[in-house]
Structure 1
Amino acid sequence: MGYAVVTGASSGLGRSLSVELARRKIPLVLVARNAAALSALASDLARCYKIQAIPVPLDLSDPAAVPQLTRKLAELDKPVDILVSNAGSCERSPFLASKRSAPSLRLMVNSATELARAVLPGMADRKRGRVLFVGSLMSAAGTGPGVAQYAASKAYLATFARSLAKEMEPHGVGVTLTSPGAIRSGFFDSMDGDALCNRIPFYPMSPEAVADRSVRAMVAGLTEVMPGWQNRALAAGTPF
């Protein structure tokens, strides 16, 4: 088995996705901005699951980061067989009040696209591989007032993942989109106030539950999964 690359791995859903892969004895390349948290996670996973876990501290919103990561992956002793594109960021701000493109555009559009471009040719040549894109229930809702750029980034990821799934199927490579709703991960803690969905009793899912369902769908080769019956009900009821 080759390596699994997990972006945004140091906390929240990314950490839980890394644990799910480690439980399956898959060697890991862990990517995130927080070098200390990333190193601690890699050490814990290597010790607990007896696997190789390589921390690569990078800010993937930096245009130079993907080329750096690509060079690092080329130096590995085994190929990349799994890519988990999870890294994301969100800024709550009305679009008219924003003075620049949100980091989420560079992170979830540019970097996610270029990293897929870096690893998919090798997977296609070997006729094996899996890619998991972490989207959002927001794509099904169709709108994201106050987080317009984040919502647009997730809509791009959803369309990109579904399209790639069709393209890569003849090459034996599975591409899966997971579209979770609210997760108890602290992702929105840096924003002004908490998201309303996180305050609905019993609605937010644990990152462990979302990771379990997402990784199982990816391993099974499913094109799409929406963890949680509550999210599927909301998506079915949207007018968009």
Structure 2
Amino acid sequence: MGTALVTGASAGLGRAFAVELASRGHDLVLVARDHTRLEELAEELQTTYAVSTETLSADLADRDQAEQVADRLRDASRPVDLLINNAGFGLRGSFTKGDLADEERALDVMVRAVLVLSHAAAGAMRARGRGGILNVSSVAGFAVMGSYSAIKSWVTVFTEALSVELAGTGVQATAVCPGFVHTEFHDRARMNMSALPDALWLDVDQVVTGALRDLDAGRTVSVPSATYKAVTAGIRLAPRALVRGISSSLAQRRRTAGRPSA
């Protein structure tokens, strides 16, 4: 089944991708900042699925550490057949009132690292004539939800461009664009999501299996669930002024829901 490298593998979607791939017989290279969690996951996957695991503790906002992961992807003696660029985090609050360092870190982790690791993987995979790159984007990239939307819009369009360039090489690039997923993502960002309807929540396994199925099918953009397929289709057809207005209203509702009661 080959080897898959998963970034942000210690929790959330990254962990779910690692478990699913191990269950299918893939060996794993697990990348995240949390060394303890990585080692625990590696041991669990080895014990449960009898696969080989390797851990790389790396902060992808650090250029030297990101380059170490890129070097692993370039290593022809230990080929990686599937790259899953999953590492990321939510941005909470106002761009103009927030900490610029947080915004820069978001760009380093969710834009620059995706660029660097995709370049390393695509070059090595193209030379072998096979492989896959799965970039975790978001439905937010079609909407207007602060700089996070801009970041995820870049991930989706970048993946589309990469897919075009890799056509006919045996290497597939896919962007998965989930909506709201039951993981630690929003809790870590200290986002109050209590006002969100149950119908808009996705199970993590639904996202993972759908993304891998679409990657195997050669689809460039994967949107899990009929609900979010309809949402993204509507956003793409709507005038941008309308999209901005709806996004502003939703952001106001979320801010109101997050205020403490008197």
TM above 0.5, yes or no, is yes
Q: Quote the residue 2:10 is aligned against.
A: 10
Structure 1 residue 69: deviation in Å? 1.6
Aligned letter for 2:218?
Answer: G
Structure 1 residue 221: deviation in Å? 2.0
Equivalent residue for 2:204, pick from 202, 207, 211: 207
For 1:140 and 1:85, locate their aligned partners in 2 and report how far apart those are by CA, in whole Å: 19
Query: Whose Rg is larger?
Result: 2
CA contact (8 A) 2:166 2:172 kept: yes
Q: Quote the residue 1:189 is aligned against.
A: 187
Q: How has the CA–CA distance of structure 1 residues 126 and 74 changed in structure 2, closer, same or farther, with 3 Å as cutoff? A: closer
Q: Quote the residue 2:167 is aligned against.
A: 169
Q: Quote the residue 2:119 is aligned against.
A: 117
Q: Quote the residue 2:249 is aligned against.
A: none
Q: How has the CA–CA distance of structure 1 residues 224 and 94 changed in structure 2, closer, same or farther, with 3 Å as cutoff? A: same
Task: Give the number of equivalent residue pairs.
Answer: 235
Aligned letter for 2:32?
Answer: A
- Structure 1 segment 13-162 matched on structure 2, within 5 A: 13-73=13-73, 77-101=77-101, 102=103, 103-141=105-143, 143-144=144-145, 148-162=146-160
Structure 1 residue 126: deviation in Å? 0.8
Aligned letter for 1:88?
Answer: G
Deviates more, 1:47-56 or 1:156-165: 47-56
Aligned-residue RMSD, C-alpha: 1.7
Structure 1 residue 193: deviation in Å? 3.6
Gaps of 5+ in 2: 241-262
CA contact (8 A) 1:104 1:149 kept: no
Please, what TM-score do these two structures have when normalized by structure 1? 0.92
CA contact (8 A) 2:46 2:53 kept: yes
Please, what TM-score do these two structures have when normalized by structure 2? 0.84
- Structure scoring higher RCO (CA < 8 A, sep ≥ 6) equals 1
3-state secondary structure, aligned to 1:202: helix
For 2:111 and 2:228, locate their aligned partners in 1 and report how far apart those are by CA, in whole Å: 24
For 1:149 and 1:27, locate their aligned partners in 2 and report how far apart those are by CA, in whole Å: 35
Aligned letter for 1:87?
Answer: A
Aligned letter for 1:17?
Answer: F
For 1:191 and 1:126, locate their aligned partners in 2 and report how far apart those are by CA, in whole Å: 40
CA contact (8 A) 2:7 2:84 kept: yes
Gaps of 5+ in 1: none
Equivalent residue for 2:218, pick from 221, 224, 238: 221
Q: How has the CA–CA distance of structure 1 residues 126 and 13 changed in structure 2, closer, same or farther, with 3 Å as cutoff? A: same
Summarize deviations over 1:45-100 as a string: whole Å, max 9, x none.
11111111111111111111121223344568520111001111122121111242
CA contact (8 A) 2:162 2:173 kept: yes
For 1:214 and 1:134, locate their aligned partners in 2 and report how far apart those are by CA, in whole Å: 9
CA contact (8 A) 1:105 1:150 kept: no
